Amino acid sequence: CPSPPLFPAASMSVVEHVREMASAGLHSNVRLLSGLLLTMSGNNPELFSPSQKYQLLVYHADSLFHDKEYRNAVSKYTMALQQKKALSKTSKVRPSTGNTASTPQSQCLPSEIEVKYKMAECYTMLKQDKDAIAILDGIPSRQRTPKINMMLANLYKKAGQERSSVTSYKEVLRQCPLALDAILGLLSLSVKGAEVASMTINIIQSIPNLDWLSVWIKAYAFVHTGDNTRAINTICSLEKKSLLRDNVDLLGSLADLYFRAGDNKNSILKFEQAQMLDPYLIKGMDVYGYLLAREGRLEDVESLGCRLFNISDQHAEPWVVSGCHSFYSKRYSRALYLGAKAIQLNSNSVQALLLKGAALRNMGRVQEAIIHFREAIRLAPCRLDCYEGLIECYLASNSIREAMVMANNVYKTLGANAQTLTLLATVCLEDPVTQEKAKTLLDKALTQRPDYIKAVVKKAELLSREQKYEDGIALLRNALANQSDCVLHRILGDFLVAVNEYQEAMDQYSIALSLDPNDQKSLEGMQKMEKEESPTDATQEEDVDDMEGSGEEGDLEGSDSEAAQWADQEQWFGMQ
């Protein structure tokens, strides 16, 4: 309702004073005064009229909501709604303390619809989505505001009620045709891009400089159908337009798409551009941190994590980034704890689910890991890395049949591209009967993308089994012609050792370690060569190791102690 005129202090009722303070944002003051007045009302029911009691309860609940005491706020909002019902049952005017104003209280009563919306917000913060849906469902359709429909759409989507979610998103667009997040919601629920665009065509034609919107819708339609190549091309065409150049959201989307397409180099480049434009950017930084960790840039990951924590520790991203640092430092218990903390902050964080799933898998808790990867697939059905994690779990538990079924489904669903071909080939390599099929699939993948690292690695693995080392060396040299990757340099070193090219093998191991100082396999390869070259030195080193065994054992004990500490925290957070 419109704000009432400011009466002289002497002519205002105490409830009007509470309302004025609430409008001014003086939440702590409202909480104290309304709490005292509600106690007075409880001791003397005749002190305030039903409408005044309703207002006091709502303003008190609002102040509790502001203090994040959501359960207490729900209790007070419920009492307020009960009091509102009493208003319709009585027309009796009760005397109130200092209420000399002639303006009817009913004209400025807080909206019952708004009270229900705030109750739903409380329920979502308490992770009681069913209660939130129930309270909003109770509001007649014609009385639902755009924000109520938007919240309902998101809640329906999360609950798997896709038809109801689509209806609510469409209602948001009917009321607000430029609600871009509602557009993304519809596209994510497989509504055709053309249908969504038709809902915005009138606004595009009536407002200047909005011609880009139809292209924007087309781009994100490609995103949600998993057509990464066309999505990248379409967003690039948008980003090149002068009016949308250097848009952080578009750069972030491009970075994510390159990541999904397996082009990690361009993904990192776009994340860096977005970060330079917005130093406080949080969205997408979990993926950026993961990519840096995979490349062995752990110092950069640690620095990124610290920066994100300084921006906000109430988002999942900084916890995921720190978890990636722990995971690639082989501190799996700590990575598990950090992943669980991230999920606690945002249950829809795909990267947090993948982190926790990977940590569980590496700790031997494969069945629990499978649950997390399946949830990640439910949230992001077009992300290949979610399927890769699940298939790795199946292979780790020797469930080759399940892995094959999943890989074939991914191949059919996401199409025959270098990534899906390589994933299917990876499973085929596990079964001697399907070795030839794996070779054919990898050749197709490398024909499409000769620089796709995962395909090169798997083809090299196959050539190693067949002891075709010269072919493997040629393959790896070709792949390294236009890129530098730790794993490729290390595998090339292994192949060179097999053909007695020791000096060049040593060079390749050195390059691999320069790219990732924590790559244990490269270090082992180099140390093995050094021992073979100087057996006397190797014997002396073994003697020294034996003498210092007690100190090394102490380090291991410390590691176990740390793992136990994080395991305790894991239990505290209720991780299953």
| Residue count (the chain) | 576
- Where helices occur in 261-397 by DSSP H, the ranges are 264-277, 285-294, 298-311, 316-328, 332-345, 350-362, 366-379, 384-396
Q: Quick check: 60 and 38 in contact, CB under 8 A?
A: yes
Selected residue with higher pLDDT from 533 and 560: 533
Average pLDDT over residues 387-393: 96
Q: Are 508 and 489 in contact (CB under 8 A)?
A: yes
The whole-number pLDDT of residue 322 equals: 98
Over residues 49-82, the pLDDT tens digits come to 999 999 999 999 999 999 999 999 999 999 999 9
Question: Is the pLDDT score of 97 beyond 80?
Answer: no
pTM (two decimals): 0.81
318-356 pLDDT, tens digit each: 999 999 999 999 999 999 999 999 999 999 999 999 999
Q: What's the token pair of residue 331?
A: 């501190």
Residue 516, pLDDT score = 83
195, pLDDT greater than 90: yes
What is the per-residue pLDDT for 400? 92
pLDDT of residue 534: 60
Distance CA 332, CA 539 (A): 33
- For position 180, what pLDDT does the model report? 97
Question: Is the distance from CB of 327 to CB of 293 less than 8 angstroms?
Answer: yes
Sorting pLDDT into bands at 50, 70 and 90, what band is 96? very low
pLDDT at 373: 97
Chain centroid, CA 278 distance in Å: 19
Q: What pLDDT shows up at residue 535?
A: 53
Q: What is the dihedral of CA 252, 282, 420, 474, to 10 degrees?
A: 80
Q: For residue 85, what pLDDT is reported?
A: 86
Lowest-confidence range among 3-17, 494-508, 557-571? 557-571
Give per-residue pLDDT as tens, 437-453.
Answer: 999 999 999 999 998 99
DSSP secondary structure letters along 464-477 = HHTT-HHHHHHHHH
Average pLDDT over residues 94-118: 66
* % of the chain with per-residue pLDDT over 70: 87
Phi, psi of 180 (to 5 degrees): -65, -35
Distances (CA, A) of 14 to 47, 61, 108: 11, 17, 14
pLDDT for 308:
97
284: alpha, beta or left? (left if phi > 0; alpha if psi -120 to 50): left
117: nearest Cα among 58, 157, 35, 30: 58
Measured between alpha carbons, how far is 241 from 225 in angstroms, rounded to an integer?
24
Q: Which of these, 256, 244, 237, 315, lies nearest to 280 by C-alpha position?
A: 315
**Across 11-20, 30-39, 294-303, which has the greatest mean pLDDT?**
30-39
Residue with the larger pLDDT of the pair 124 and 515: 124
Residue 295 makes CB contacts below 8 A (sequence gap 6+) with 264, 268, 486, 515, 516
- Residue 557: pLDDT band (50, 70, 90) is very low
pLDDT of 132 strictly over 60: yes
Would the pLDDT of 292 be above 90?
yes
| pLDDT tens profile 167-194 | 999 999 999 999 999 999 999 998 999 9
Q: Residue 44: which pLDDT band, with cuts at 50, 70 and 90? A: very high
